[in-house]
């Protein structure tokens, strides 16, 4: 079984990749002051363990013309979850689908060009049998962009002298 978590070098490597996303292995090795082989081995292990799950570009959906961001909660009929999720995956404007606790069964992140387009997207969502109820919330402004680097920084801080990894 592969180890869980990341150590300080993994964290520094991930931070360097975020700071200079187009840097190659040689450049990352230079920035970190380690051998190229060390960087490549670390990258391979981080990918193998699923810590690094992709190298997709970070896209600005507004710049692509998707001005509306909404969150749609769906209540699903018993036994229809797989059918509904399969249908939702076919709608390009549905960006994420999460099974949730509390009111509703699924929580979806959806984008649209306009409010009229959002109504069309929700209509497409409802084309599948098995959805009992929906509730839609339109996002007004983003207060905090999706982030993970603060979690990476914890691994660096924990390995530093006086950090929590040293305690105990």
Domain containing residue 118? 68-138
pTM: 0.81
Looking at the chain, how many residues does it have?
Answer: 168
75 and 117 both lie in a single domain? yes
Count: domains in the chain:
2
**Exposed / middle / buried, residue 157 (Cβ in 10 Å: 0-12, 13-18, 19+):** middle
Tens-digit pLDDT profile for residues 42-101:
999 999 999 999 888 889 999 999 999 999 999 999 999 999 999 999 999 999 999 999
The answer on pLDDT for 149 being more than 60 is yes
41 and 82 both lie in a single domain? no
Helix, strand, or coil (residue 29): helix
In a domain, 18, yes or no: yes
In a domain, 20, yes or no: yes
Confidence of residue 166 (pLDDT cuts 50, 70, 90): very low
In a domain, 14, yes or no: yes
Q: Which residues pair with 73 in a beta bridge?
A: 107, 135
Tens-digit pLDDT profile for residues 99-122:
999 889 999 999 999 999 999 999
């Amino acid at each position: 079984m592969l180890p869980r978590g990341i150590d300080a070098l993994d964290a520094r490597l991930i931070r360097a990749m975020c700071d200079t996303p187009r840097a190659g292995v040689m450049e990352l090795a230079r920035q970190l002051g380690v051998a190229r082989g060390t960087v490549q081995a670390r990258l391979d292990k981080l990918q193998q363990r699923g810590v690094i799950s992709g190298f997709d570009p970070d896209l600005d959906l507004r710049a692509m013309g998707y001005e509306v961001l909404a969150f749609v909660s769906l209540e699903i009929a018993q036994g229809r979850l797989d059918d509904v999720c399969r249908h939702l995956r076919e709608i390009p404007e549905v960006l994420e689908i999460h099974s949730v606790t509390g009111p509703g069964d699924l929580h979806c992140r959806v984008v649209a060009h306009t409010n009229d387009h959002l109504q069309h997207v929700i209509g497409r969502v409802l084309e599948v049998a098995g959805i009992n109820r929906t509730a839609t919330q339109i996002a007004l402004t983003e207060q905090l962009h999706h982030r993970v680097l603060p979690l990476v920084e914890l691994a660096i801080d924990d390995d530093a002298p006086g950090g929590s990894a040293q305690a105990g």
